[in-house]
Amino acid sequence: MPAVEVHSIYKSFEDVKALKDISFSVEEGELYGFIGPDGAGKTTLFRILNTLLIPDEGTATVLGLDVVDDYKTIRPMLGYMPGRFSLYQDLSVQENLEFFASVFGTTISENYELVAPIYSQLEPFKNRYAGKLSGGMKQKLALSCALIHKPKLLLLDEPTTGVDAVSRKEFWEMLVDLKKQGIAIIVSTPYMDEAKLCDRVALIQEGSLMQIDTPLNIVNGYDRPILGIKSRNTYKLLQALKLYEWTHSAHPFGEFIHFTEKREKPDMIALEAFLLDNGIDDAVIKEVEPGIEDSFMALMRKEVASD
Amino acid sequence: MTDPAIFTKDLTRTFGAFTAVENISFDVKKGEIFGFLGANGAGKTTAMKMLTGLLAPSSGEASVNGFDVYTESEEIKKSIGYMSQKFSLYDDLTVSENIEFYGGVYGLPTKALKQKIEEILYTIKLTEVKDALVVSLPLGWKQKLAFSVSILHNPSVVFLDEPTGGVDPVTRRQFWERIYEAADKGITVFVTTHYMDEAEYCDRVSIMVDGKIEALDSPENLKRSFSTDSIEDVFIRLARGAKRSDT
């Protein structure tokens, strides 16, 4: 039985179509990512899965139960971490965890083993108010609170947004460990680089799913050779590439600009000559492998083109 | 030699027994894109507040556009632009009303302002939605608009506090093109971000850990001195040692 099964869900808020024909399924013990920017519909989808919102059309089951008819049975089986920090700021670390345990009719000691790897890092601060914790620690406490009743499915809505690169990395290490315990995890993020840590990812944009696959397959499906080009003056380089007749796309990716051509095989020598003519005499050009973000952007262009 | 756009020497801010920013010293050149990185709670916001004239330092020196942060904070405010993800635009005003409003705040003459509105709408491709309420726009569009508004009065320095958080990858890059364009026109850009690829777009970056600047150089030199090919690696190695995070 899949952990989650969604068929053709639609949800609108007045004129805004937040979700359009969303279908997907998540297997037991899978780490499943929803990757997309703000406003893509991720939070709406999470609220439907956690039974807080009813879809306009379509059906969804969680652990084999219907999200509309069986919401009471589903709720104790879920662990949910909302996008906005929503623990009690004026309760201590320990009081928050005790509170969430008691709401679900359990105790910290009963399920300590599951939260221990995460919660033990907070124990030195267990008497501190939750409101006084750092961003990274708040995140760990929120995850502990979502886990304390041993849920079968974890829904994590943008747990790493606005969090620095170090805490983000630690958080993902924790998720990979939790997955080993057999808990299915659905996580959303606007950071494309986090996609590669998921078993499968769904790329979502403006309420529609663009693609669902393993990170590897998504990247392998990228159908154009990419050249990485760098120069001391990135802006000038970007301007020049926009004038080049064979340019299909040119986007900054860190140090290099990722460049694709309209023709099947890019001509590096012609490109270098063109750049030289346009005053860029220090261009370094090399072949680069596509990443999830390249694929996401290519899919976004296709969606715009087919609109 | 011309004065730097931003200058700090041993700049420090304490809150009671807590030292949020400790003896930071750096220069930002005119027209430079300067990335101000650090973990949550490293002291970036406090430092930015001092540089934008919103918070008095406890000790040390700092000036922006040659204006002293202790005695000329009002002059600083007039000569800079500022945008963050949190405070930017009025949701219940339309796109052009927002530009008009800020133009009025900055004292732009009516005629110049009219022209400026057209120009901005055209550059960021929002002409079609000029009469739409800002609340109805996707985040990325809002952020592009907020940036244009922040440099409406041709400031010499613009401070951008996590301008691209949560923005889609295409719009994020369009946003950076606007940053490049502004820098090309001579505007100094001081920017914070959690996207490490964006750190690579800066001329120089500083990395703050526990209130101090632990590294400051061009992305290329930083990577070379840490023998790695990504700024993320440099950042993680420096910030992993942090004792504190945000409050």
Whether A162 is in a domain gets the answer yes
Which pLDDT tens digit goes with each residue over A112-147? 999 998 999 899 999 999 998 877 888 899 999 999
- What span, in angstroms and rounded, lies between the C-alpha atoms of B215 and B198? 17
Same domain, A233 and A161: no
Same domain, A20 and A151: yes
Of A220, A245, A264, the one marking the end of a domain is A220
The CATH number of the domain where A25 resides is what?
Answer: 3.40.50.300
Which pLDDT tens digit goes with each residue over B45-66? 899 999 999 999 999 999 999 9
Whether A266 is in a domain gets the answer yes
Q: Which residues of A242-280 are buried (b: 16+ CB within 10 A; e: fewer)?
A: eebeebebbbbbbbbbbbbbeeeebeeeebbebbeebeb
| pLDDT at B168 (0 to 100) | 86
The closest of B154, B149, B162 to B123, measured between CA atoms, is B149
Whether A301 is in a domain gets the answer no
Dihedral in degrees, nearest 10, Cα atoms A252, A253, A257, A262: -90
Of A203, A220, A237, the one marking the end of a domain is A220
Domain range for residue A248?
A: 226-289
More confident of the two residues A198 and B246: A198
- What span, in angstroms and rounded, lies between the C-alpha atoms of B45 and B161? 8
Same domain, A86 and A139: yes
Query: Please, what are the domains in chain B?
Result: 6-87+156-239 (3.40.50.300)
Same domain, A160 and A256: no
Q: Does B166 touch chain A (CB under 8 A)?
A: yes
Q: Which of B166, B180, B230 sits opposite A190 (nearest CB)?
A: B166
| pLDDT at B212 (0 to 100) | 96
> Among positive and negative, which fits the CA dihedral A293, A294, A295, A297?
positive
Whether A150 is in a domain gets the answer yes
Same domain, A49 and A163: yes
**Tokens at residue A307, please?**
């609109």
* Number of domains, chain A: 2
Q: What is the mean pLDDT of residues A244-269?
A: 93
Whether A298 is in a domain gets the answer no
Same domain, A240 and A142: no
Q: Does A129 touch chain B (CB under 8 A)?
A: no
Whether A304 is in a domain gets the answer no
Same domain, A207 and A235: no
Q: What is the mean pLDDT of residues B134-138?
A: 88
Same domain, A112 and A238: no
Whether A303 is in a domain gets the answer no
Which pLDDT tens digit goes with each residue over B6-33? 999 999 999 999 999 999 999 999 999 9
| pLDDT at B113 (0 to 100) | 93
Q: What is the mean pLDDT of chain A?
A: 93
Same domain, A130 and A247: no
Distance of residue B3 Cα from the nearest chain A Cα, in angstroms:
23
Is the model's pLDDT at A304 over the cut of 70?
no
Q: Which chain B residues contact residue A162 at CB under 8 A?
A: 40, 162, 165, 194
Which pLDDT tens digit goes with each residue over A12-51? 998 889 999 999 999 999 999 999 888 899 999 999 999 9
| pLDDT at B247 (0 to 100) | 41
- What span, in angstroms and rounded, lies between the C-alpha atoms of A175 and A184? 10
Residues A164, B138: C-beta atoms closer than 8 Å? no
A167, closest residue in chain B (CA to CA): B39
Q: Which of A37, A134, A192 sits opposite B245 (nearest CB)?
A: A134
Of A189, A220, A251, the one marking the end of a domain is A220
Give the range among A80-94, A181-195, A292-306, B12-26 with minimum mean pLDDT. A292-306
Give the range among A5-14, B70-79, B83-92 with minimum mean pLDDT. B83-92
Same domain, A247 and A156: no
The CATH number of the domain where A265 resides is what?
Answer: 3.30.70.100
Distance of residue B193 Cα from the nearest chain A Cα, in angstroms:
9
Which pLDDT tens digit goes with each residue over B233-242? 999 999 887 7
Whether A36 is in a domain gets the answer yes
Same domain, A174 and A273: no
- What span, in angstroms and rounded, lies between the C-alpha atoms of A226 and A219? 12
Same domain, A28 and A173: yes
